[in-house]
Amino acid sequence: MGVTSLETNIENPAHGCSQRIVQYAEPSDDCEGNPFAWQLAFHASPAIFKGFSGPVGSGKSQALCYEAIKLAYQNQGCTGVIGAPTYPMLRDSTLTSFRKLLEESEFPYEYLKSESIIRLPEANSTILFRALDTFERIRGTNLAWFGVDELTYCTQESWLRLEARMRDRRAKRLCGFASWTPKGFDRVYDRFIGPDKKPGHEAFRAQQNLALPPGYYQSLQDSYSERFYRQETLGEYLNVFAGQAYYAFSCAAQVGEAVMYNPRSPLWWALDFNVNPLCSVIGQTINGLVRVLDEMVLPNSNTLAACEEFLERTCQFKGGPIAVYVYGDASGDSHKTSASRTDWQIVKEFFGRYPDRFQAHFRVPSANIRVKDRVNCVNAMLMNYAGKRRVFLNPRCKELAKDFEQVAWKADPHGNPISGLDKSDPMRTHLSDALGYYIAREFPMKDKRGENRRAGDRLRLSTPIH
């Protein structure tokens, strides 16, 4: 079902119960022109802040203009703003699309070119068109609503300034909205889509518009790199200029409330001994599916504090002793966080103090495998070649989800990959490293002969964990 046209009703306050018919887009011989489901959902959303995220050609501009007209008529006598990153983009794209929609639907309007203002006399509404690289121009304006085109190319300050001006007491429907093409895991993603998205924000992700002329997307395939194509024409969120390490992860498919503790199965705990923050993950593996129940991120901490936090996090799990299989960084046997004890010695002594509470089994190798091999193991569990996903996260594991989405391989100044993970962000890599120690130990990649490198270890552990 393509987006070429749809007759959509908007109430006309100047004529009582009469209605204006908005021609959403032009019909064609091979398509009736019904909006895509994501466009309809965007328009129907009651969220005070909402976004339309999608690839090129997915109807973002049409959705932005329609939403602006709808809000202008709902908020008669009020002022709204439509913004774009720069004046040339505002003039050549956003304003042109808006005026075209008005004219095709035969809306009366006044265009004050010198002031970049459109007035809709039927609704007694005013729409200001503003380039957001000079967002200071909207200071002092009380708004009922605002819309932003290509938000990912605007400054954060411009959105915040518009948000602060949305305070017209006469408004019947306060709303701030935007459309954008994904540009990686930036502030727009964090605000509207990520695990820590802002309250009151909702985003709708578009797909390709199959009603576009034949060969449109094929021609872009010939011009764009693989990752850039996925971002620009599939609307995916990824690190375009630095390789995403955990590319197989899907937040939508692998984060859910169903990941809960099962008292009939043992726990596992996997640790990374970074000091700030010290990170670990707690989970269970049932029928071959890795279920991450919780994450621990402790700033400026130490191993003993991590043990005490583990005790606190697991106090809700009744019964005992609970079987706990412990994994982590092999270098913890040489690194000392106290004058005389290594990290692993501290963990073992901790469990020794609670024999009635825990039955601990340590699964720490003598040496860590290569980082690339560990990441390959994790990706194979996130989604293998057959499309099966075997790792699932409880929604409280927000930082681990961020790791999977944002951790990238190092790159030189020219964008060429170099060995190792990018650790420039002190918050990233540690939780995914911790989980990787567990997965690499229990779900290792097969060697060239097709034999499991630690078949004996897997067999011994298969009964209690699986």
pLDDT in tens, the chain (466 residues): 333 333 445 555 455 544 666 766 666 555 555 677 888 899 999 999 999 998 887 888 889 999 999 999 999 999 999 999 999 999 999 999 999 989 988 899 999 999 999 999 999 999 999 999 876 766 778 999 999 999 999 989 999 999 999 999 999 999 999 999 888 888 999 999 998 899 999 999 988 776 677 677 776 665 564 557 778 888 888 765 557 889 889 999 999 999 999 999 999 999 999 888 999 999 999 999 999 999 999 999 999 999 999 999 999 888 779 999 999 999 875 655 555 789 999 999 999 999 999 999 999 999 999 898 898 888 888 988 767 899 999 999 999 999 999 999 887 776 666 778 999 999 999 999 999 999 999 988 654 333 333 322 222 222 222 2
Could you tell me which of 253, 262, 282 has the C-alpha nearest to residue 389? Answer: 253
Over 404-437, what HEC string results?
HHHCEEEECCCCCEEEEECCCCCCCCHHHHHHHH
Residue with tokens 């964990």: 465
The C-alpha torsion from 440 through 441 and 445 to 449, rounded to 10°, is 150
Please answer whether residues 129 and 90 qualify as being in contact, where contact means their C-beta atoms are separated by less than 8 angstroms.
yes
Which residues does 237 contact at the CB level (< 8 Å), separation at least 6? Answer: 182, 184, 185, 189, 193, 231, 405
Q: Which pLDDT score is estimated for 207?
A: 80
- Which token pair is 70? 């709808």
In whole angstroms, how far apart are CA 10 and each of 2, 65, 184, 375?
A: 22, 13, 35, 52
- What's the one-letter identity of residue 56? V
Q: Which pLDDT score is estimated for 450?
A: 33
Could you tell me which of 152, 229, 134, 141 has the C-alpha nearest to residue 188? Answer: 152
- What's the one-letter identity of residue 34? N
Q: Which pLDDT score is estimated for 462?
A: 25
Q: Which residues pair with 129 in a beta bridge?
A: 82
Instruction: Give the domains, in start order, of the chain with CATH numbers.
Output: 7-234 (3.40.50.300), 242-466 (3.30.420.280)
Q: Which pLDDT score is estimated for 1?
A: 33
Q: Quick one: 340 exposed, middle or buried, by C-beta within 10 A (0-12, 13-18, 19+)?
A: exposed
What are the DSSP calls for 305-339, one per residue? HHHHHHHHHTTTS-SSSEEEEEEE-GGGGT-BSSS
Q: Which pLDDT score is estimated for 457?
A: 29
Query: What are the residue ranges of helices labelled H in 24-59?
Result: 37-44
* pTM: predicted TM-score of the whole model, two decimal places: 0.59
DSSP code of 198? P
What are the DSSP calls for 94-144, one per residue? IHHHHHHHHHHTT---EEEGGGTEEEETTTTEEEEEEEGGGGGGGTT--BS
Q: Quick one: 93 exposed, middle or buried, by C-beta within 10 A (0-12, 13-18, 19+)?
A: middle
As a whole number of angstroms, the distance between CA 1 and CA 40 comes to 12
> What is the phi-psi region of residue 450: left when phi exceeds 0, alpha when psi lies from -120 to 50, beta otherwise?
left
Could you tell me which of 92, 84, 77 has the C-alpha nearest to residue 169? Answer: 77
